[in-house]
Amino acid sequence: MKLLPLLIAFIFIVPFASAFEIGGFEIKDGDLTGKYFPSGLEGCVISCYSDKHVLDMIYKNKSMDITFEFLDDPMIKKLIEWNTALKEEMQKALMNRTISISGPSISFNYEGCRVELHDSPTRFLKICTTKIVIHNGGYDITPVKSNEIKLEKDNFTSIMMSTEPIEIHGKNITAYHDIMLVGFSFIDEKQSIEDAFVNKTIGGEISIAGKNKNETDFISYFGNVAINVTLPKSNKIILKVSGNEGEGGKVIKVNLAKNVCLSDKIIVRYDGKIINEASGIKDILNPNDDGSNPEYYKLASTREGVFLLISIPHFSQHEINIEFIVSNPIFQAIALLSGIAIVGLAALYLFKK
């Protein structure tokens, strides 16, 4: 019975020692918001063609203008359904065929031209159409392969890839069938992550801010990777991940926002089993070097917060659970004071006996 007071003290101390919390990107009017769409290609104009000239995407400082050759009501309705902020632009669009957009992501299909655009926080642009011409806005162009180039300007770099050879004519770029452009803003390990993108070992990424669908943003890169997210508790994320089985292992990037600290404890479970943290960035970005053993790796950026890289050695469908234990100094102080008080009472009880 002498151990009972100490046991009670321990039970009271433990719950106050840690607090559980998941961070979030900025949410405005219920929607996840980023900086703006065209982060990284300011000054460029992208012209899209199917069997004719379809549209121009004009990159500006804080927005992107899309000018259409002609507009129809169904197309406008689809854009408005995706982003209610476009309602304010509807009247102007009907008059001059131009819509100005900004936000973390948008996707639409118009006259055979499919566009997907993200900035939350990775800068991503994907266009599928017959022909794409980029009128350069002062970027240095470095050919890497016949279907891959690097664009650089000031402190920004991005990788552009296509399934077909990319042509460079002076300051202009011409691609056929599709382009995929990505600019990772993670500063410390930017080169390693860019290399993984070029090697197609990154399958996709998801940015998580809150509990509803509008507060997450998912980008698929390679292997037809799909990620669905559930947030059952404030300290837990459940990811359902799937992809093409024949494409080998992939890494997924999970963006956890600013108020999760690098020092916070994170537990990752893969199909119910706790997995180990990789030895380093190069280890995690090679998802095929550890047999069938998945791993995770935690990174931090002063601008965007904490990122998790999780390796998926082989695909069918997998469930990944991420649990957070965030140290809270207030709770720690309460725990310390409560612990001292309870242990003191326990000591008095023992001495009395």
Instruction: List b or e across 318-335, with b for residues whose CB sees 16 or more CB atoms inside 10 angstroms.
Output: bebbbbbebebeebeeeb
Q: Which residue has the higher pLDDT, 127 or 334?
A: 127
Q: How many CB atoms lie within 10 A of CB 70?
A: 9
pLDDT > 80? residue 117: yes
Q: Which two tokens stand for residue 281?
A: 């960035």
pTM tops 0.85, yes or no: no
**Cα distance between residue 162 and residue 134, in whole Å:** 13
Q: Given this model, what pLDDT does residue 17 score?
A: 31
Domain boundaries, the chain: 31-183, 200-327
Higher pLDDT, 319 or 248: 319
Q: Note the pLDDT of residue 266.
A: 86
**pLDDT score of 299:** 83
- CATH number of this structure's domain 200-327: 2.60.40
Confidence of residue 292 (pLDDT cuts 50, 70, 90): confident
Residue 340: pLDDT band (50, 70, 90) is: low
Question: Is residue 312 within 8 Å of 245, Cβ to Cβ?
Answer: no
What pLDDT is stored for residue 111 in this prediction? 84
How far apart, in Å, are the Cα atoms of 135 and each of 23, 46, 156, 225? 39, 6, 18, 31
Query: pLDDT by residue (tens digit) across 25-45?
Result: 455 554 555 554 455 677 789
pLDDT band at 350 (very low <50, low <70, confident <90, very high): very low
pLDDT on residue 47: 94
Sheet-wide strand order for 273-274:
226-233, 236-242, 317-325, 265-270, 273-274
Quote the CA–CA distance of 191 and 43 in Å, as a whole number: 24
User: Does the pLDDT at position 164 exceed 90?
Assistant: yes
Handedness of CA 64, 62, 74, 31 (dihedral sign): positive
The tens digit of pLDDT for each residue in 173-200 reads 999 999 999 987 665 677 888 888 988 9
Q: What residues contact 269, with CB distance under 8 A and at least 6 apart? A: 275, 320, 321, 323
User: For the chain, what percent of residues have pLDDT higher than 90?
Assistant: 26
| H-type alpha helices, the chain | 4-17, 73-82, 87-96, 190-198, 281-284, 329-352
Lowest mean pLDDT among 10-14, 112-116, 159-163, 242-246: 10-14
Could you tell me the pLDDT band of residue 214, with boundaries at 50, 70 and 90?
low
Beta bridge partners of 267: 323
Q: Which distant-in-sequence residues (6+ apart) come within 8 Å of 149 by Cβ?
A: 141, 142, 143, 159, 160, 166, 168, 173
User: What was the pLDDT predicted at 110?
Assistant: 82
Q: How confident is the model at residue 163 (pLDDT cuts 50, 70, 90)?
A: very high
158 half-sphere exposure, CB direction, 13 A CA radius: 21
pLDDT at 203: 93
Length of the chain: 353
- The whole-number pLDDT of residue 272 equals 92
Higher-confidence residue: 300 or 331? 300
45-68 pLDDT tens trace = 999 999 889 889 887 767 778 887
Q: What is the pLDDT of residue 195?
A: 87
